[in-house]
């Protein structure tokens, strides 16, 4: 069996969201597959993994629709795996294809999506992708329900495979090295338990303006707790960066920019709580990363967030500022039950995700013969 994989996002230097998923699921598949089974198509350089062959597709534009499409006709693939949404529309029609759908954000909050997202992920393209895919992986039950309800995809075509959290990387044992822990917080101007942490791309969908409005009320009783926002600037972010000054809290809100991956566990661990009141998520990995570092989480009561947070998170109505204020007061006084956290995280491992994905790919390849 030869499994072709779109690894174009897996080679991103600054990974977030779908890039992180693409990288982690490729690593997990490499641990499951036999020698020579995985052929990863990449758009650049820098991917060296055991048990994975790579092939560089040089197209700078229309990499998927031209470059990857051509390879589906040229290479002897048994199945094609697309870990991040976009499928080659003119791929070899007899080639079984499995695609991962992370969310339907342009269906639910189109005004908070960039023009590029609206182009690639509009309803017509979503339906065409669902039609071309032999099987679809949904990263949550919430995303599966969205696919069935919004796009009328047959349930039999969809398999839910949860994303994972790397508990070897996000591991509280790292905190035993107090010097690294303290130096990392100092690097970003933070003090242990002196801040609330948001992690994600700076964009309207993350609901940061309402979070800051709620925070401006919260600090009246908690003046020593800052709000630290970690992430790159995204679509329509200007208003978000201007909001602290408008609220008179510019000295209390810290935009950390892109945070190096190796620093993230320490930033989570040092926070009083992680705050993630997003308007829509297909999964919501920062919830699990925070829990893995034993830091309480505030998140939204919508979409996939309750599924990911289980009974461990504090939930708020993300459209209601007062609800977020109440949640902030609750989460800073929350303590986590160690045994409950461990049991909850067992549902979300990359090894489990990799094995289930590999089994689905093998089954799809065999059914296509």
Q: pLDDT at residue 113 above 70? A: no
Residue 245: its H or E element: helix 238-247
Mean pLDDT (whole number) for 141-155: 92
Q: Mean pLDDT check: name the lowest of 105-109, 159-163, 273-277, 291-295.
A: 105-109
Q: pLDDT at residue 191 above 60? A: yes
Q: What was the pLDDT predicted at 108?
A: 41
Counting residues of the chain whose pLDDT is more than 70, the rounded percentage is: 93
What's the pLDDT band for 82 if we cut at 50, 70, 90? very high
Nearest-angstrom CA–CA distance, 18 and 9: 7
274-283-23-66 Cα dihedral, nearest 10 degrees: -130
Nearest-angstrom CA–CA distance, 46 and 97: 26
Nearest-angstrom CA–CA distance, 294 and 121: 35
Helix axes 238-247, 208-218, angle to 10 degrees: 20
Nearest-angstrom CA–CA distance, 169 and 103: 25
Query: DSSP alpha helices (H): ranges in 85-225?
Result: 105-108, 115-120, 123-132, 141-151, 178-187, 208-218
How far are the Cα atoms of 32, 47, 81, 92, 336 from residue 50, in angstroms, in the given order?
11, 10, 18, 28, 37
Reference 13, options 41, 36, 42, 35; nearest CA is 42
Q: Mean pLDDT check: name the lowest of 14-23, 71-80, 91-100.
A: 14-23
Name the one residue in this structure whose structure tokens are 């995303």.
143
What domains can be seen in the chain, in order of their start residue?
3-164+349-367 (3.40.50.2000), 172-345 (3.40.50.2000)
Average pLDDT score, the chain: 91
Q: What was the pLDDT predicted at 119?
A: 53
Q: What was the pLDDT predicted at 73?
A: 97
Q: What was the pLDDT predicted at 9?
A: 87
Q: What was the pLDDT predicted at 62?
A: 87
Q: pLDDT at residue 110 above 60? A: no
pLDDT digits (tens, 9 = 90+) for 253-266: 999 999 999 999 99
Mean pLDDT (whole number) for 338-365: 96
What's the pLDDT band for 112 if we cut at 50, 70, 90? very low
Q: What was the pLDDT predicted at 128?
A: 74
Q: What was the pLDDT predicted at 150?
A: 85
Reference 40, options 111, 50, 219, 294; nearest CA is 50
Counting residues of the chain whose pLDDT is more than 90, the rounded percentage is: 76
What's the pLDDT band for 124 if we cut at 50, 70, 90? low
Q: pLDDT at residue 305 above 60? A: yes
Distance of CA 244 to the CA centre of its chain: 26
Nearest-angstrom CA–CA distance, 12 and 25: 14
For the chain, count helices (H), then strands (E).
Answer: 15, 13
Nearest-angstrom CA–CA distance, 137 and 249: 42
Q: pLDDT at residue 272 above 60? A: yes
Q: pLDDT at residue 171 above 80? A: yes
Question: HEC states along 219-241?
Answer: CCCCCCCEEEEECCECCCCHHHH
Q: pLDDT at residue 114 above 80? A: no
- Contact 127/350 with Cβ under 8 angstroms? no
Q: pLDDT at residue 109 above 50? A: no
Q: What was the pLDDT predicted at 122?
A: 58
């Amino acid at each position: 069996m030869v499994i072709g994989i779109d690894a174009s996002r897996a080679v991103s230097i600054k990974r977030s969201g779908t890039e992180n998923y693409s990288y982690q699921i490729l690593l997990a598949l490499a641990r499951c597959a036999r020698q020579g089974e995985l052929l990863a198509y990449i758009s650049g350089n820098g991917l060296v993994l055991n048990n994975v062959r790579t092939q560089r597709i040089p197209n700078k534009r229309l990499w998927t629709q031209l470059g990857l499409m051509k390879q589906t006709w040229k290479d002897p693939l048994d199945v094609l795996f697309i870990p991040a949404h976009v499928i080659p529309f003119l791929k070899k029609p007899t080639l079984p294809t499995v695609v991962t759908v992370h969310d339907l954000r342009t269906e639910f909050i189109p005004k908070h999506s960039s023009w590029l997202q609206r182009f690639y992920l509009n309803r017509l393209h979503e339906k065409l992708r669902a039609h071309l895919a032999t099987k679809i992986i949904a990263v949550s039950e919430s995303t599966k329900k969205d696919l069935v309800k919004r796009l009328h995809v047959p349930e039999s075509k969809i398999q839910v495979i949860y994303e994972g959290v790397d508990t070897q990387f996000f591991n509280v044992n790292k905190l035993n090295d107090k010097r690294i822990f303290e130096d990392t917080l100092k690097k970003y101007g933070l003090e242990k338990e002196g801040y609330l942490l948001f992690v994600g791309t700076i964009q309207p969908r993350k609901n940061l303006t309402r979070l800051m409005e709620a925070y401006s009320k919260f600090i009246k009783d908690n003046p020593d707790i800052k709000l630290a926002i970690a992430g790159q600037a995204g679509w329509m972010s200007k208003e978000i960066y201007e909001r602290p000054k408008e609220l008179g809290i510019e000295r209390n809100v810290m935009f950390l920019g892109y945070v190096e991956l190796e620093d993230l566990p320490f930033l989570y661990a040092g926070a009083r709580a992680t705050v993630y009141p997003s308007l829509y998520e297909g999964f919501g990995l920062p919830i699990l990363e925070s829990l893995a570092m034993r830091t309480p989480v505030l998140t939204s009561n919508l979409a996939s967030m309750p599924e990911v947070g289980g009974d461990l998170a504090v939930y708020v109505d993300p459209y209601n500022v007062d609800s977020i204020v109440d949640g902030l007061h609750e989460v800073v006084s929350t303590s986590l039950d160690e045994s409950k956290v461990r049991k909850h995280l067992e549902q979300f491992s990359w090894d489990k995700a990799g094995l289930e994905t590999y089994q689905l790919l093998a089954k799809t390849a065999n059914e296509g013969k």
